[in-house]
A and B are shown apart, each in its own frame.
Chain A
Amino acid sequence: MSSPPSASASSSPPPCPKKMITLRSSDGATFEIEETAALQSKTLENMIHENCASTLIPVPNITGEVLARVVEFCSKHAEAGVDDESLGAWDEEFVAVDHTTLFDYIRAANFLEIPTLLDLGCQTVADMIKGKTPDEIKKTFKITTACTPEEEEEVRGENQWAFE
């Protein structure tokens, strides 16, 4: 679950002040993030290299609430000297949220191309699905769009082996 802090090209020598990037969410809120943490996101990495002058990056697809948490995630994963076990525990708490929020994290991780967050989010959803019947899955995720009885019978027949 943990990833080593991505080595930035500069490998910032300690005495220099850490470069801060500001992100602006879809609803206008701003968040500061260290450059090293921002590099966890491939999308941000590309944008940083393109807009070398400005340090304000708009992130139009993500609301402030979600962006704040994503910034928290990247900062935590960019921290030096955190052992795997405590990072794992931190990750577990991070994803202990309702499934709507979880999907928000996944969408954000997808848009910003943060592999660690995407993997964590998807694994969490997979764990929520494992071992459940289709009805239980529907209930867990409050899925309402269903199939016609004929469709249901057809697909059930195709996948009968998965129930044995």
Chain B
Amino acid sequence: MELESVGDLALNLILTKLGPENVGRVACVNRKLRLSADEEALWSRFCSEELHLSAPLDPRGDPLPSFKAAYKKWREDFRMYPWPLVKRVKRCWDRLQGWLLTNFPDAAATLREGASEADIQELESVLRVKLPLPTRILYRFHDGQDFDESDFTENTPGGSLGIIGGYSFYGYVVNVNLLPLSKVIMETNHVVQHLGFSSRSNYIVVAASSTSGEKLFFLNCRDGQLHVGTRNLPFDGEMMPCVPKSLISSVHDRNADLQQDAMLLWLEEHGRRLQSGMIKLREDGGVRSICLFPEEPPLCSTAITNGVRIRSSAVFVPEHSDLQNEYLFAYSIRMSLIPEGCMANEMPCNFCQLYRRHWIIRANDAVVAHVNGDGAIGKSLFMRVALI
């Protein structure tokens, strides 16, 4: 009795359990099995499960006539990489891009199309490096960010659409974006020249804050670690690692079970923080940007006293720190009046004004500073209960 004799329903169930690669092989056995293996319902399911596609689209987002054709195109376009890694990178980008499309479409619009294998090979040959596997695939999906003239305004001289985001304090503004391969080449050459990096030819610049140009992220192509330049970068090339070393593995080994480099881990974590609301979009002077001051516990503390809610969080500023002497942190304190208002002289009141503040700043339970005085940064905040 032939395999086909089990009936179409059972055959479809068997093929579903087999998964795409095995179904592709079953198709080559005989005509009847080829028919069953070619069923659109099957490939629609595989496309949905593996690539989260609800329509038959190719990697560029262009439509194809069938789900089977779409799945085939994806596998062929990425045949040079371990498929599980490709799926993982897609999930990472889907999450980031999904968040951006919903919350920050202006930034989503700056994401470029994927680079080609030829583009990547060109960079590797010009810079004489070999990109780690996960990073290559990341660039195959999106080749960094593109900005046009209108993104740089008086208010945002360095742009505000970096998808990594940043922070600002006392007029110092940071907004980090992902560089396309063409800029990676330019910046890396520039840095190598100016900072005398010849002994470190494994480093390439992958992300930077276009405002001050002071914050630069370097990928070490040999071991897959990501570093950020400290304030000593211009003098002795000092930088700090961004990702725990123990997480990085098998960045050049196609046959390993698990390949992850710092770039992938960093972007995955960033996507998680955006999605969970740990970091959010903030508006400052009419300009929106991704702000790295945490907004959720445990990295953000909240206390409400007599109707006044205070939220505080801190962010590490590596580009103004140095590894020998001091680490610099910036803090953000936000004050508002809760809807119920506050009590003043035993009377409910729906407005209040900040007169004085006293911050006690601790590091590891030891007090490191007091900030004491009128108003805050010279201003007296006036808070009113928001009228809905």
Contacts and interface: CB of A to CB of B under 8 A. Distances in A.
B21 interface: yes
Contacts of A106: 6-7, 10
A163 B14 CA distance: 19
Given A133-B25, A159-B24, A145 B13 contact: no
A161 B2 contact: no
Interface string A133-147: 110011001010111
Interface in B1-43: 1-3, 5-7, 9-10, 13-14, 17-18, 20-32, 34
Given A110-B6, A145-B30, A151-B31, A162 B14 contact: no
A93 interface: no
B72 interface: yes
A11 interface: no
Contact of B7 (A107, A134, A137, A146): A107
B28 A152 contact: yes
B25 A137 contact: yes
Main secondary structure of the interface of B (DSSP, over half): helix
B17 A123 contact: yes
Identify which of B13, B23, B25 gathers the most chain A CB atoms within 10 Å of its CB: B25
Given A103-B5, A141-B3, A158-B72, A118 B10 contact: yes
Contacts, number: 99
A125 B28 CA distance: 17
A12 to B, nearest CB: 32
A132 interface: yes
B10 A156 contact: no
Interface in B91-107: none
Q: Main SS of the interface on chain A?
A: helix
Contacts of B26: 129, 134, 137
Contacts of B326: none
A159 B28 contact: yes
B76 interface: yes
B75 interface: yes
A59 B171 CA distance: 84
Interface of B: 1-3, 5-7, 9-10, 13-14, 17-18, 20-32, 34, 72, 75-76, 79
27 contacts: A103-B3, A106-B7, A107-B5, A107-B6, A110-B7, A110-B10, A122-B6, A122-B10, A122-B14, A123-B17, A125-B14, A130-B18, A130-B22, A131-B22, A137-B26, A137-B29, A143-B2, A151-B31, A152-B28, A155-B27, A158-B27, A159-B24, A160-B76, A161-B24, A161-B75, A161-B79, A162-B75
